[in-house]
A and B are shown apart, each in its own frame.
Chain A
Amino acid sequence: MSDKRTTVEDMAAEVADGMTVGIGGWGSRRKPMAVVRALLRSGARDLTVVSYGGPDVGLLCAAGRVRKAVYAFVTLDSVALDPHFRRARQTGAIDAMELDEGMFYLGLLAASQRVPFLPTRAGLGSDVLRLNPGLATVRSPYGDEELVAVPALELDVAFVHLNRADTNGNGQVLGPDPFFDELFLGAAARRFVTAEKVVAPGGLLDEGPVQTVTVNRLMTDGVAEVPGGAHFTSCPPDYGRDEAFQRRYVTAAAEAESWADFERHFLDADEAGYRAAVAEAGDAGARP
């Protein structure tokens, strides 16, 4: 059986300019932040970022890597709005496809099922249809209802961060919510998992019951052990959100100078350098 272990650098290197990248998690929760940081270093640009958005979208916008964002919201949860994303929208720096949360789910599901669309009421009557003129409605072949046809959100690459994985690419969520990570993986051509800990095949059942292994190896191409890989977003039960560091991120975003300082201090180095800088900064933080 193939050992799928790789590194975040090699995962990020899969992303070429202009690709559509799906990022798992939800808001400021269990985001594959180590991969996002690797993407900042890799230089990939003109990306279409598909995300239940949090600081992943913010960081990529701040670095000018986003051509288009596909989202239902962008939030930091304990801080309502992401300052970089707001600026990108308000300056017209990025294109936007803003969808209802349920439409977004169905778009990933359609891509996972290799069908061109799935029907829903969600979106009817709202400006989601007006603002996305590419969205179409479809008439029920069984009645007269006209429903929204949510197009498949096909991804070139997807990244998710889980609590545990094994070397074969099975993945485990020990926290309460698997979010839509399985669908991001299902919707993508290339699929990568980072995890707090990577164990030998068969070892996941020592970590939690079989129903917590929500990702199986049919769904993955590569896996990397990255302790603290979701920092500063939450990754329960391994760690909560680093609220102090998130506030630092928000505060730094206020001015170009303070943001350049944040980048220099935390983002220019590799993941080990990031972790060292976070530890030195003394905010609570993820402690692998």
Chain B
Amino acid sequence: MSGATEVTRAEVCVVACAEAWRGDGEVMASPFGTIPAIGARLARRTFAPDLVLTDGEAALMANTPALSAPRQELVLEAWMPYRRVFDVVWSGRRHIMMMASQVDRHGNQNLSAIGDWARPKAQLIGVRGAPGNSVNHVTSYWVPSHSPRSFVEHVDVVCGVGYDRAAAAGPAATRFHEVRVVVSNLGVFDFATPDHVMRLRSVHPGVTVDEVVAATGFALVVPDPVPETRLPTAEELELVRDVLDPGAARHAEVAP
């Protein structure tokens, strides 16, 4: 049995990501990034058994094996090619956790480009499905490296839509819009404030509020006191370490 003192930051992040899907019921959980992928599997193995997970290709996965499991270990339960994924997106039965190169205080997210869009300093992957995801179903974000460069006052390109932009776009945009949480390597953030600006929900064990504030490029809403992100239970720790991520891929994303 592992003692609480041995729990790594990455393992705290896994549980914090898993918690994003608590209470969601039978929806497609779409995690991006290593730690959210372990987190979604952990959630399904424990408190969110009805979650629907894809195999990363074109099917839904009936079992919940290790992240690194070879394809022959996967048990598939239904066909889910990309075209069908949009049926799910537009039906709303999905909660995605995307990554964000930049996220701002209203929950706008950028993964398209840094700098002036016409001739960007850095072209990234593109808006992908972020605009549609964010106005059709619950969206959360994962930022493995929290800094003033990733938590910015204004994102350079609004891909995933935040609360201010959804409100400005009108009822068709706000109807199904919800940015649930942002999980970073330092803490958990939500928008449970009167004007839906980002609030520090919890700091990970070993992180101070001052560190989070200093690493954030805008004024966070900071409650007093700030709770600590919960530690994994013994059962969760065992699942993460021995079953879901025995190769410790989580520590390549967030150093132990």
Report A's interface with B, CB cutoff 8 A: 26, 53, 71-75, 80-81, 85-86, 89-92, 98-103, 105, 120-128, 130-131, 144-147, 176-180
Q: Which of A81, A147, A176 contacts B172 (CB 8 A)?
A: A147
Q: Closest CB of chain B to A116's CB: distance in Å?
A: 20
Q: Which of B69-90 contact A (CB under 8 A)?
A: 79, 81-83, 86, 89-90
Question: Quick check: A102 and B86 within 8 Å, CB to CB?
Answer: yes
A residues in contact with B175, CB < 8 Å:
121, 145
Beyond A80-B125, A176-B59, 11 additional contacts (C-beta under 8 Å) are A90-B121, A102-B86, A122-B131, A125-B131, A125-B169, A126-B158, A127-B157, A128-B127, A145-B171, A146-B172, A178-B83
Report B's interface with A, CB cutoff 8 A: 57-59, 79, 81-83, 86, 89-90, 112-113, 117-132, 134-136, 157-161, 165-166, 168-173, 175-177
Given contacts A26-B82, A101-B129, contact A125 B158 (CB under 8 A): yes
A residues in contact with B89, CB < 8 Å:
102
B residues in contact with A146, CB < 8 Å:
169-170, 172
Of all chain A residues, the one with the shortest Cβ separation from B123 is A89
Distance of A126 Cα from B111 Cα, bound (Å): 12
21 residue pairs of the A-B complex, CB under 8 angstroms, read A26-B82, A71-B126, A72-B126, A72-B127, A80-B125, A81-B124, A85-B123, A86-B122, A89-B123, A90-B122, A100-B127, A100-B132, A101-B86, A102-B132, A122-B135, A123-B132, A125-B177, A126-B160, A128-B127, A179-B81, A180-B82
B residues in contact with A90, CB < 8 Å:
119-123
Q: Closest CB of chain A to B157's CB: distance in Å?
A: 5
Given contacts A125-B135, A145-B171, A176-B58, contact A99 B123 (CB under 8 A): no
Given contacts A92-B119, A102-B86, A176-B57, contact A125 B125 (CB under 8 A): no
Question: Quick check: B173 and A124 within 8 Å, CB to CB?
Answer: yes
Given contacts A73-B126, A74-B125, A128-B127, contact A121 B176 (CB under 8 A): yes
Question: Quick check: A101 and B123 within 8 Å, CB to CB?
Answer: no
Question: Quick check: A131 and B157 within 8 Å, CB to CB?
Answer: yes
Question: Quick check: A81 and B125 within 8 Å, CB to CB?
Answer: yes
Q: Which of A73, A89, A105, A124 contacts B169 (CB 8 A)?
A: A124
A residues in contact with B82, CB < 8 Å:
26, 177, 179-180
- Leading 8 A-B pairs by shortest Cβ distance: A122-B132, A73-B126, A126-B131, A125-B169, A176-B58, A125-B161, A89-B123, A177-B58
Q: Closest CB of chain A to B110's CB: distance in Å?
A: 9
Distance of A208 Cα from B226 Cα, bound (Å): 59
Q: Closest CB of chain A to B202's CB: distance in Å?
A: 28
Q: Which of B131, B160, B172 contacts A145 (CB 8 A)?
A: B172
Q: Which of B57, B79, B136, B171 contacts A122 (CB 8 A)?
A: B136
Question: Quick check: A121 and B86 within 8 Å, CB to CB?
Answer: no
Distance of A80 Cα from B125 Cα, bound (Å): 7
Distance of A89 Cα from B119 Cα, bound (Å): 6
Distance of A102 Cα from B87 Cα, bound (Å): 10
Distance of A92 Cα from B86 Cα, bound (Å): 32
Q: Closest CB of chain B to A123's CB: distance in Å?
A: 5
Question: Quick check: B125 and A75 within 8 Å, CB to CB?
Answer: yes
Given contacts A100-B130, A145-B172, A179-B81, contact A124 B119 (CB under 8 A): no
B residues in contact with A128, CB < 8 Å:
127, 131
Question: Quick check: A124 and B158 within 8 Å, CB to CB?
Answer: no
Q: Which of A91, A101, A125, A145 contacts B165 (CB 8 A)?
A: A125
A residues in contact with B125, CB < 8 Å:
73-75, 80-81
Q: Which of A80, A89, A105, A124 contacts B86 (CB 8 A)?
A: A105
Distance of A103 Cα from B130 Cα, bound (Å): 11
Question: Quick check: B157 and A121 within 8 Å, CB to CB?
Answer: no
Question: Quick check: A98 and B136 within 8 Å, CB to CB?
Answer: no
